[in-house]
Amino acid sequence: MDMSALRRFSEPRPVLVDPRRLLVVPLQVQEQPSIGVQAASFEACGDGQWLAAQLYAWARLRASWPQPPSVGYLWYGQIAVTFETRNRQEQHDFWQWVPADAVRPIPSSDAPCRQSRAAAGGRPVQ
């Protein structure tokens, strides 16, 4: 049995990711920037549909909290998802570690709304 805390795949696996679990949002909201800055900003989570991504690895973390349960062992997946600017002038792969329950395989009947550019051979920055 493989007891490694980090399990990398030889090839990335296509998955869907819950957009609500991708970003840690700031505690304080900033003022809205100008319209030009808004247009050149990446559209991170769209309409709430699960996003197409590529899964590169699983990592087991030991996390502790001040309240019960005091210690937990959690699996996180390293994913890449492609975001596009609101003006559609630029795309970029965003790399993130997300909890295991935020990742699911793509059912054969699903047609993902976006294909990750990482599927074309992108690799995470080491």
Q: Is residue 123 part of a domain?
A: no
What is the percent of the chain with per-residue pLDDT over 70, rounded to a whole number? 79
Q: Is residue 1 part of a domain?
A: no
Angstrom distance (rounded) from CA 14 to CA 56: 9
Residues 22-58: pLDDT tens digits?
888 778 877 888 888 888 887 776 677 899 999 999 9
Whole-model pTM? Answer: 0.73
Of the ranges 20-24, 102-106, 117-121, the best mean pLDDT one: 102-106
Angstrom distance (rounded) from CA 108 to CA 14: 11
Cβ contact 18:102 at 8 Å? yes
Q: What is the pLDDT of residue 41?
A: 80
Q: Is residue 31 part of a domain?
A: no
φ/ψ bin of 121: left (φ > 0), alpha (ψ from -120 to 50), beta (otherwise): left
Q: Is residue 34 part of a domain?
A: no
Q: Is residue 30 part of a domain?
A: no
Q: Is residue 68 part of a domain?
A: yes
Q: Is residue 95 part of a domain?
A: yes
Q: Is residue 50 part of a domain?
A: yes
Q: Quick one: DSSP state of residue 122?
A: -
CA geometry: angle 65, 69, 75, nearest 5 deg: 75
Count of structural domains within the chain: 1
Angstrom distance (rounded) from CA 85 to CA 20: 18
Rg from Cα positions in the chain: 17
Domain that residue 89 falls in: 6-22+39-113
